[in-house]
Amino acid sequence: MPHSLKELIVVWAIGAVIFQLGKPILLRFSSRQDYSRRRNVWFVLTATALLSPSFWLFAFVAAPVLVWAGRKDSNPVALYLLLLHVVPSIPVTIPLPGFNSLFDASSFRQLGGSGNRRYPIEFAV
């Protein structure tokens, strides 16, 4: 069994337990359709992230799924916050000639830090 498939089974098992335990609480704040859609999108993107051999394949699958889910969801900010950690933030060093590095780029820096004020609601339109 491939190593990433074992990881997927473990992550899915933990995710299934967490979604099942959190369902009564989450249904107080969202509709049953939104809950099911968010849960299913989380499972699809997690499987794609762990099984895809390249970032571009993940992006090719994730982009239409995220656009579809964002348009269907009654609260796209909640969907955004749920899916924020599907792929962990791995900092990438941006080189600058003459220096070791300019800064480390990560998904968190891109999404809200350092004067870059982009809000997830902008992408829902």
Q: What is the pTM of this model?
A: 0.75
- Token pair, residue 38, equals 């968010």
Q: Tell me the backbone φ, ψ of residue 96, rounded to 5 degrees.
A: -140, 125
pLDDT (0 to 100) of residue 125: 46
pLDDT (0 to 100) of residue 46: 92
Asked if the model's pLDDT at residue 53 lies above 50, the reply is yes
Dist CA 33 CA 26 (whole Å):
12
Segment 98-115 mean pLDDT:
62
Looking at every residue in the chain, the average pLDDT score rounds to: 81
Segment 77-90 mean pLDDT:
84
pLDDT (0 to 100) of residue 16: 95
DSSP letter (8 states) at residue 29: H
Angle between helices 55-72 and 76-83 (to 10 degrees): 150
Dist CA 105 CA 125 (whole Å):
26
